[in-house]
Amino acid sequence: MPRYTGINHLALATGDMEATIRFWRDLLGMRLVAGLGREGYRQYFLEISERDMVAFFEWPHVEPLPDKDHGVPVKGPFGFDHVSIAVADREDLFELKARLEAAGFWASEVLDHGFILSLYSFDPNNVAIEFSWPVPGVDLRARPRMVDAHRPPCGLEGSEPQPGFWPQAEPIPEEDRRVYPGEGRELVEDD
């Protein structure tokens, strides 16, 4: 089974890279670590932590998302509700609330979900953001809990990956392990 280390980057879209960078870098304090671009396309990466980034594609005709509160069900095609970004200290939630409100952005009250305290807001693209601080002594990863009375059958099988559901994969022979050039190589190649 693969070993995961986090989310390398979450890729979102914007029609206004200037406002997006101003929000994520200058208001939230995330470092801008890479930028790619050409006519009609840009992609910029911001550092959330030493392992995680958020990236934005700027496409000319992208419009901000329609209004939709965090976690409220919708109908029709849909693939994303909100992103939750972990913060190191409880005080970070209140600092973020103050910064967001001072800049004219809506920010919720800090909510206690039992295992995390959360602050909710939206970026200039109307991307729903949650900032979460883990409650000390409560670690769902160490002690998973399912309290849904109407779990799907697979939810009754426990928290660990279940073998036998998918076909067994054969290792790819070394001679067939090709890596092809992709966008972004100019970030690491010499001028």
CATH architecture of 9-64+79-158: Roll (3.10)
- Per-residue pLDDT reduced to its tens digit, 81-99: 999 999 999 999 999 999 9
Rounded Cα gap, residues 149 and 155, in angstroms = 10
State the average pLDDT for the chain.
91
Average the pLDDT over 155-173 and give the result. 87
> What is the sign of the dihedral through the CA atoms of 99, 104, 109 and 115?
negative
Which of these, 93, 88, 134, lies nearest to 114 by C-alpha position?
Answer: 134
Amino acid 191: pLDDT: 57
The CA R_g of the chain, rounded to the nearest whole Å, is 20
Rounded Cα gap, residues 134 and 162, in angstroms = 28
- Per-residue pLDDT reduced to its tens digit, 11-69: 999 999 999 999 999 999 999 999 998 888 899 999 999 999 999 999 989 998 889 99
Rounded Cα gap, residues 119 and 129, in angstroms = 8
Q: Where are the domains of the chain?
A: 9-64+79-158
- Per-residue pLDDT reduced to its tens digit, 120-151: 999 999 999 999 999 999 998 898 888 888 88
**Token pair 């900032």 is at which residue?**
131
Q: Taking the model in full, what pTM does it have?
A: 0.86
